[in-house]
Amino acid sequence: MALFVVRHQHDAESCPARDPFAGASLLNHLSRPNVRQHGVRIQGEAVVRGEHTVYFIVEADDEARLTAFMQPFRQAGRVDVYPASTCAGVVANGGCAAPAASGDPVSAVDPETACQQALDDGLVVHRAHPLNGETSIPALLGGVVMPNAHFYVRNHFQIPSFDTETFRLAVGGLVERPLSVSLRDLHNMPSRTLMVTLECAGNGRALFDPPVEGERWDLGAVSTAEWTGVPLKELLDRAGPTPGAREVLFRGADRGAVEGGPASIAFERSLGLDDARDADVLLAYGMNGEALPQQHGHPLRVIVPRWYAVASVKWLTDITLIDHRFTGHYQGTKYWYEWERGEGRVREPVTLQQVRALVTEPGPDQEVRAGEFAIRGVAWSGAAPIARVDVSLGGDWQAARLVGERHRHSWQWWELITRLERPGPLVLQARATDMAGRTQPAQAEWNRLGYGNNTIHRVPIRVV
């Protein structure tokens, strides 16, 4: 249904509300049963008192039906009908003056719908289309996994939509037995369920100084879920890589234009064959015990534990084994660390997540009472499980207690119970060290594209 704003104005002398019969007649016309009969839905109404003006926000199949419904108001005065959009719709489609987004609704999710859902779910939206939103730090508090609705969303293009009944995953290239696999076929294969933390490589980009171009992520582009699916190795074994196969290329259904590139490209990433055959790499169709949600790659996505989430390609449609190094846009141009060293530039591909700890409680600038005090947070690393988390209250580092069992591929909760005696401002700091010996730096090295910022987390508070 389309959205409209309707304005009705009448002269003071002909105000229908002054006539009890006419006023009641209009109220009956606006009753829910009568509105439904006319094929419209009133979302809101408001009278500007003293100005003899009433506004309606209405959904209708078309303007003609709405015009017919408003006929009793037209008899009392003037009726103006304006095609409208929601705030999310205007932002998602490029502004108040921009035309509505065009496209096949069967192949892509409506950007307004996706954006409004993210806002309703409490995500901090950085971009409406393509939709990008991070989890608020307070929402990180609590359980081992992040509820699907609160899991951060990262997109480069529009969100595709699929008919799961006709969906097929193609496995080809340098294989002995090309495959075409349905979602039902995948559900009938041996499956695994793994707890995996995914983090956007740009998480913390907004904290780099000088500022870096790109999505201005704070610290909430990270979440953990329980993923269920088929080990990628299962399909590779069935297809049978030929001796010349070197890399496994994943192609998602999402596609669009990139700066300096062709009119449209698909989102593609690859893994070396040895990395792809890791038993923990999944083709996931489930998330936290439910079917994979649309915004997280429904019906199928790759899950590559320990790597930044760019490797976990969503809306997977094709797996191709190739004999060369893949250099597509999101692997050859983007997702590289680029550091200025001396007179030259050093480049290194973005792969494993950096070691990092976040303070989730207390929040920034929160007032806390002197005395016994709890500091809590979460830590993770792609190289190895978390070995320790140290917390500073402005002086020496104190070892926090790790909470719960260690999971190889997911974050680790921690807490420190301490005492605060002296009132005044205080800066809390949290620093993680993993079992591979990697420790967070006081300041992560600035890089041109703003990846992997794992600077020690600092949270200012006030003791009262």
pLDDT band of residue 102 (cuts 50, 70, 90) is: very low
Which pLDDT belongs to residue 261?
A: 74
Within 272-368, residue ranges assigned H as helices are: 273-276
Pairing of strands 336-341, 168-173: unpaired
Burial class (CB in 10 A: 0-12, 13-18, 19+), 149: middle
Q: Taking the model in full, what pTM does it have?
A: 0.87
d(CA 301, CA 303): 6
Q: What is the tens place of the pLDDT at every residue in 319-377? A: 999 999 999 999 999 999 999 888 889 999 999 999 999 999 999 999 999 999 999 99
What are the tokens at 444?
């992560």
User: What are residue 389's phi and psi, to 5 degrees?
Assistant: -130, 130
Which residue ranges form the domains of the chain, and what is each CATH number? 2-84 (3.30.70.1060), 148-334 (3.90.420.10), 356-463 (2.60.40.650)
Which pLDDT belongs to residue 100?
A: 54
Q: What is the tens place of the pLDDT at every residue in 166-188? A: 999 999 999 999 999 999 999 99
Q: For a pLDDT cut of 90, what percent of the chain falls above it? A: 80
Q: What is the tens place of the pLDDT at every residue in 436-459? A: 999 999 999 999 999 999 999 999
Nearest to 233 by CA among 163, 303, 150: 303
Nearest to 12 by CA among 76, 80, 75: 76
The answer, yes or no, to whether residue 104 has pLDDT greater than 50, is: no
User: What are residue 17's phi and psi, to 5 degrees?
Assistant: -70, -20
Q: What angle do CA 71, 73, 76 make, to 5 degrees?
A: 115
Which of the pair, 101 or 221, is modelled with greater confidence?
221
Bridge partners for 289 per DSSP = none
Cα–Cα distances in Å, from 274 out to 248, 260, 285, 286, 351?
Answer: 9, 32, 23, 25, 14
